[in-house]
Structure 1
Amino acid sequence: MLGLADRLRPDAAATVRALTALTGDAPVLLTGDNPRAARRLAEEAGLGEVRAGLLPQDKAAAVQEWERAGRKVLVVGDGVNDAPALAAAHTGLAMGRAGSDLALETADAVIVRDELATVPAVVALSRRARALVVQNLALAAAFITVLVAWDLLAPLPLPLGVLGHEGSTVLVGLNGLRLLRESAWTGALRAGGAA
């Protein structure tokens, strides 16, 4: 007798806990596997909801159902059968090393390290990036508002206007560069619970 079973990745349970803490929602397992095997893996990983025996179009339909309910959906996958769900999701994230070419091309982002623990870190880092974009927009708008108001109320010397405008551009650029520091990634790992 020969028995085959999927093995859970060592960091799966920690990743599920981190994603649940980070997003406030527990991840859901969408799989084409049989229900019994899927439930066993879900229990080991700490997942509450499992949808098993799904075809690729069923996975995409589940994603669209959540999106119609007003939720933003992140799909993590690596197989050809995950491609429709990756495409339907608000954000598709492919696991790079083991991922099929179709999944890699369909996804919005690819995790090259192929470690599940990086998924919460990517979510945390993307939130930091979004906050930084909002900061940069506010900073640029403040500078432009001050320069326009100054010019409307009193003559604004051209060199001072150029200095104010270009200075705001430099500040926005420097602020954005903060995401390239090593501490940004390690901070995202801590925020994602993966450290």
Structure 2
Amino acid sequence: MPSALDQRPAPGLTGPRPSPAPPGRRTRLLALPEARWALAALALFLPALALHLLGAPAWTWGPLFTAVYVTGGWEPALEGLRAARERTLDVDLLMVVAALGAAAIGQVLDGALLIVIFAASGALEAVATARTADSVRGLLDLAPDTATRLTDGGEETVPADRLAPGDVILVRPGERIGADGRVVAGAGEVDQATITGEPLPAAKDPGDEVFAGTVNGTGALRVRVERDPSDSVLARIVKMVEEAAETKAPTQLFIEKVEQRYSVGMVAATVLVFAVPLLLGTDLRDALLRAMTFMIVASPCAIVLATMPPLLSAMANAGRHGILVKSAVVMERLGQVDAVALDKTGTLTQGAPRVTDVRPLPDGGADPDELLRLAAAAEHASEHP
């Protein structure tokens, strides 16, 4: 019998359905440091923006903008300095330098807006990662905490993670199966939607394979454990989901490849934009204004923000809707799909087929009405949709 990994849907997408996120998830997300600092920067920026646009004195909005620079910029600045210590030019440091440069030429508002945008992008990436972790935790909740192990002396309740290959467990109707194994006695119907995505329970008889986290609907089953709980199909799916958040799409790999060279080139170009006009007699303030404007416009923040944060958000959103994406590569390729062929009756389709045409073979000897009558008789008692 093929394993559950052979039964899973099309490459890149798996069928388990994570349990709903527990209450308080939003509270946990807001507890992320990146989210707190980004919200603080935004909360300080909005009143400062209003005061600045209304023409209020500088002493009213100046301290607020300064606080925006500190709350939203200290973390990117720290990351950038760490990268600089390793002799690499990080885009975080470029953003902070560009914002400080804007402030130096009197464009405090523009610099603060750049800080807020960059802090918000970091917060979104952190939140998306946390939501992906929530999806993984929801999957882990599918596995039962305990199982009933059969011994020579009778039955004993043990933690499911202590089961070992060769153990025989008893699974009563309505219970979740504690480990991957094979039925050795009993018969019943098992809901395997969490693993295979199939909407109808699968009949299980001695010799059939069952999976951890699936629900036994009818009949008591005795199951011989064949895999360690840490190597179950469910555990492997959880591992794949965790690895998916760490994968990088081709676009991101390309951007990371050229980011360092681009950053160095941009800094060199900024120095030239500042030095050449200055050597030709341009006023210092004008030369600095031109150089800082170039640096702000040429900074690769938009490119960086357009890669991983959207992919992480898409993967987390898919997980909340019961779709587990195995890698960022797969998610990016979905944007290039023009047509999809589905073969999951009742899961991805309505499960309510209808007859559109009856076409008997020319030499079959049956007319359409007779053929339809025979097909209807065979289908009438079938459990398949």
Query: The TM-score by the shorter chain falls in which range?
Result: 0.3 to 0.5
TM-score normalised by L of structure 1: 0.39
TM-score normalised by L of structure 2: 0.23
